[in-house]
Structure 1
Amino acid sequence: MARVLRPKDRDVTAERLLDSSMRNAYDPDVDIDWDAPLVEGKGFMPEERVSLYGTPLWDRLTPSQRLELAKHEIGSITSVGLWTEIVLMQLLARYAADLDPRSPHTHYALTEIGDETRHAIMFGKGIARLGLPAYGPPRVVRLPAKLFGAVIGGPAMFASVLVVEETTDRLQRSMLDDESIQPMIRMINRIHVVEEARHVRYAREELVRGLTSLRGPALELHRLVTALVAYAVINVLVHPGVYAAVGLDPREARAVALTNPHHRESRRWMAEKIVAFLTEVGMIGGPSKRIWQKAYLL
């Protein structure tokens, strides 16, 4: 039985988040030195989180190729993150349109849209500064997402947002104090982590509030949608094109990555906190739980 959480009054929470937004906000145009050169020899993400780490293919790569692969993988993850930020803005705008415009709860939803706009621009500038392609998700994911953005709301919307935000958040947090990572990437991560902490609290409380009366087939539908989003997003974070950038066959390398126990463990590690929360509140369970298992998130 999932523990019943009792979120505080939504406007009380929103007032606190609005106050925090005023006191702890960043401007990426000012707070990141986009003209600073990359530091030679510094990494782009922890080696043990690169999808091929620990495989024979990884062993064949030179140190410079490993750095290059890590750069392309963080660029791919960032590209998907940028795309999800834009989808989230659409969801929040539709959500806020039906709220009381006088409410602090509404004001925070609109504030979050502003945050996400800056984040998307920041990610785009970061990808450009690294000289990387805009990988992003394939059309097979982009097209259903348009339908998702148009019709899905309530608990499935907030749970899906949390899956995306909290999985990437854990990877970013692991780099904040890592001196071996490029300073620009660490600063991008710092800005995103600080501001996303507010977004996560807002979404978690609204999810719990929406679950109070959800039962039976309706609950299973929201569970299913969330599981499908989790499966789709985790599977497109690393674009096959990143392998071609270091001279590997994309199909072979992707097949190796998907069976790599280190990569599977990284997936579980990234999703560990949000999976625990969603299980606790009852959003992971029933037949759709197998989808989480197939994505190696459980």
Structure 2
Amino acid sequence: MAITGDVDVTMLRDALGALKDREQVAERLLAASERHSYDPDTELDWEQPFVDGLWFWPPELVSLYDTPLWYEMSEEQRIALSRHEAAALASLGIWFELILMQLLVRYLYDKSATSSHVRYALTEIADECRHSMMFARAIRRMGTPNYPPARGHHNLARVFKTISTTPGSFVATLLGEEVLDWMQRLTFPDERVQPLVRGVTRIHVVEEARHVRYAREELRRQMVHAPRWEREVTRLVSGEFARVFSVAFVNPRVYTEVGLDRREAIAQARQSAHRREVMQEGARRLTEFLDDIGVMRGLGRRMWRSSGLMA
């Protein structure tokens, strides 16, 4: 009986320690939010004209960069493609953020509303609302269509939001944030890119850094304390989400909008060694982290590799 009692005390001590650590992380993130949060409507000059000859996304990050089609396109057509891909990524960002907000609200439903952990999650939801509005305004300002995800992906996400495990939700959150964040970190200091796009990406990078920290810390705790079945389901669901993400990252309609043959453009983008390297580099920090905490195992790991986001 003494042994059982000692085990129970140890488990209780560990649980209390985890809660204390969770609260401390949340308090630091709340303080950072007070110092570095932005209102895009007033922070950015939405009326400034676009500069002729500047890109809307760094050319090296455009999906057809260094393909045979790229060298057949005029400079004007390449810049137009960067404009449409920037808009498509903003549309993808809105989709991901709507998913994230719903997952976060569901996650908070049974938690204490007075805890710092919950207060920060609500702060993050407010951030994501502003980001979605900022992306939507940027799409309108660029004069492009909105690029929603394919119907199949849209409906698959509806199912995912309903059945996702808590750690699975945080894996999906990180996947939706970290690859785009890596690209935006290259974009906002790049003077070849339009000032408005750089401003949008700067705001997103600063505020998303806090979101990534929050999701990583909680996912690490979840992968320690979640039951075995939940960890196994998370590995499989995250692998499937990676495969969806890798396909959804570029909307094929952008090719038609700039006068390219859609099938040929899709084929060349998929065969591009440069594009594969860009996507794997963008996901590298995430895949290394997921490997470290035990997400990248078994079939789930093979699914990540098949997605092209992991070598």
The residue aligned with 1:27 is 39
Cα distance in 1, alignment partners of residues 78 and 122 from structure 2: 41
State whether residues 223 and 283 of structure 1, in contact with CA within 8 Å, keep that contact through their aligned partners in structure 2.
yes
Shift of 1:215: 6.0
Q: Which moved more, 1:106-115 or 1:145-154?
A: 145-154
Cα distance in 1, alignment partners of residues 107 and 69 from structure 2: 46
Cα distance in 2, alignment partners of residues 32 and 153 from structure 1: 38
Cα distance in 1, alignment partners of residues 239 and 143 from structure 2: 34
Q: Which moved more, 1:215-224 or 1:131-140?
A: 215-224
SS of the residue corresponding to residue 173 of structure 2 reads: helix
Equivalent of residue 257 in structure 1, options 245, 269, 275: 269
Equivalent of residue 192 in structure 1, options 201, 204, 221: 204
Shift of 1:214: 4.0
When the two chains are superposed, the root-mean-square deviation of aligned CA atoms in Å is 1.3
Gaps of at least 5 residues in structure 2 are 1-16
Which AA in structure 2 matches 1:26? Y
Equivalent of residue 227 in structure 1, options 239, 252, 265: 239
Shift of 1:96: 1.3
The residue aligned with 1:160 is 172
The residue aligned with 2:76 is 64
1:262-292: CA deviations, max 9, x gaps? 1111110111111111111111121121111
Shift of 1:108: 0.7
State whether residues 76 and 135 of structure 1, in contact with CA within 8 Å, keep that contact through their aligned partners in structure 2.
yes
Which AA in structure 2 matches 1:40? D
* 1:104 maps onto 2:116 in alignment: yes
The residue aligned with 1:245 is 257
State whether residues 164 and 230 of structure 1, in contact with CA within 8 Å, keep that contact through their aligned partners in structure 2.
no
Cα distance in 1, alignment partners of residues 163 and 121 from structure 2: 18
The residue aligned with 1:83 is 95
Which AA in structure 2 matches 1:187? G
Paired residues in the alignment total 293
State whether residues 165 and 234 of structure 2, in contact with CA within 8 Å, keep that contact through their aligned partners in structure 1.
no
State whether residues 165 and 230 of structure 2, in contact with CA within 8 Å, keep that contact through their aligned partners in structure 1.
no
State whether residues 72 and 132 of structure 1, in contact with CA within 8 Å, keep that contact through their aligned partners in structure 2.
yes
1:42-88: CA deviations, max 9, x gaps? 11112111111111111110000000011111111111111111111
The residue aligned with 1:3 is none
User: Taking structure 2 as the reference length, what is the TM-score of the superposition?
Assistant: 0.91
SS of the residue corresponding to residue 299 of structure 2 reads: coil
Identity %: 45
Equivalent of residue 287 in structure 1, options 276, 280, 299: 299
Which AA in structure 1 matches 2:131? H
Cα distance in 2, alignment partners of residues 295 and 157 from structure 1: 19
* 1:13 maps onto 2:21 in alignment: no
The residue aligned with 1:114 is 126
1:143-185: CA deviations, max 9, x gaps? 0111111221311110110011001000000012111111101
Which AA in structure 2 matches 1:71? R
* 1:141 maps onto 2:166 in alignment: no
Which structure has the bigger radius of gyration? 2
Cα distance in 1, alignment partners of residues 230 and 117 from structure 2: 25
Shift of 1:216: 4.5
Cα distance in 2, alignment partners of residues 44 and 138 from structure 1: 23
Equivalent of residue 141 in structure 2, options 129, 137, 140: 129
Cα distance in 2, alignment partners of residues 218 and 158 from structure 1: 13
Equivalent positions of 1:181-220 (< 5 A) are: 181-214=193-226, 216-220=228-232
The residue aligned with 1:94 is 106
